[in-house]
Amino acid sequence: MNVHTDLSFVTLIVHASFIVQAVIALLAILSLWSWWQIFLKLFQLKRATRETDAFEDEFWKGGDLAELFQRASQMRVGGGLEHIFSAGFREYSKHRRQGSTSGITLDSARRAMRAAYQREIDTIEANLAGLATVGSVSPYIGLFGTVWGIMNAFRGLANVSQATLANVAPGIAEALIATAIGLFAAIPAVVAYNRYTHDVDRLAVRYETFIEEFSNILQRQG
């Protein structure tokens, strides 16, 4: 067992066993990935909320739906609510031109909006499961590194005639770093997952509410 008096963070990692270093490297990668996803999801949800607000303001101004559909169709990039509206109105218009009954027309429009709704929810929920996984497994990965490091520290005492705290302290400190990094990776991922899941649920409610309200409008028009 290597005994060193320098207990700085970097020195402890450098003198740690290969398994502990591998665990720390894995946790560092998971932490970097989760932070990258945290910022990407933050911008994505803010953009989705902003686009939903803008489209609702435009929709409830009471303008012509066909004109609104034309503008929405010509835009190459649009918000989730815009895609739902476009899918429903496109299906509604197609069935009206074909002379379908009001019930069939409305049912087809609702199915089209539901399909678009599911695609939008799948898009904004992407990688949330990854954050949940990082948040749940990182402490256990760190604990594995800690257990391995402590085991090695006590195995090293077999070669020491008189065990003192100076003999075992560096090995214990090296091992505990793995748990600390595991918590550092897990806590932001769990907090972000809970926050973003709440934001996605709020958007989903707004989308579903719009589907019902737009369906009522189409039913009155039919």
Residue predicted with more confidence, 80 or 201: 201
Give percent of the chain above pLDDT 90. 42
Note the pLDDT of residue 106. 84
When pLDDT is cut at 50, 70 and 90, the band that residue 149 belongs to is confident
Q: In sequence order, which residues have a C-beta less than 8 Å from that of residue 5 and are 6 or more positions away? A: 166
For the stretch 13-58, pLDDT in tens is 777 778 888 999 999 999 999 999 999 999 999 999 998 998 888 8
CB 134 within 8 A of CB 36: no
Residue predicted with more confidence, 180 or 68: 180
The answer to whether residue 15 sits within a structural domain is no
Q: What is the mean pLDDT of the chain?
A: 84
The predicted model gives 80-109 an average pLDDT of: 82
- Structurally, the chain folds into a number of domains equal to 1
The answer to whether residue 3 sits within a structural domain is no
The answer to whether residue 172 sits within a structural domain is yes
Asked if the model's pLDDT at residue 117 lies above 50, the reply is yes
Q: In sequence order, which residues have a C-beta less than 8 Å from that of residue 162 and are 6 or more positions away? A: none
Note the pLDDT of residue 103. 73
The answer to whether residue 36 sits within a structural domain is yes
Q: In sequence order, which residues have a C-beta less than 8 Å from that of residue 15 and are 6 or more positions away? A: 2, 4, 170, 174
Domain that holds residue 154: 22-221
The answer to whether residue 173 sits within a structural domain is yes
* Counts for the chain of helices (H) and strands (E), in that order: 7, 0
Strongest mean pLDDT among 34-43, 101-110, 156-165: 34-43
C-alpha to C-alpha distance for 176 and 58, rounded to whole angstroms: 56
Q: Which two tokens stand for residue 107?
A: 């049912």
When pLDDT is cut at 50, 70 and 90, the band that residue 158 belongs to is low
Residue predicted with more confidence, 115 or 13: 115
The answer to whether residue 2 sits within a structural domain is no
The answer to whether residue 17 sits within a structural domain is no
Residue predicted with more confidence, 155 or 58: 58
The answer to whether residue 8 sits within a structural domain is no
Note the pLDDT of residue 192. 96
**pTM, two decimal places:** 0.81
Note the pLDDT of residue 2. 47
Note the pLDDT of residue 18. 84
For the stretch 125-141, pLDDT in tens is 998 999 999 999 999 99
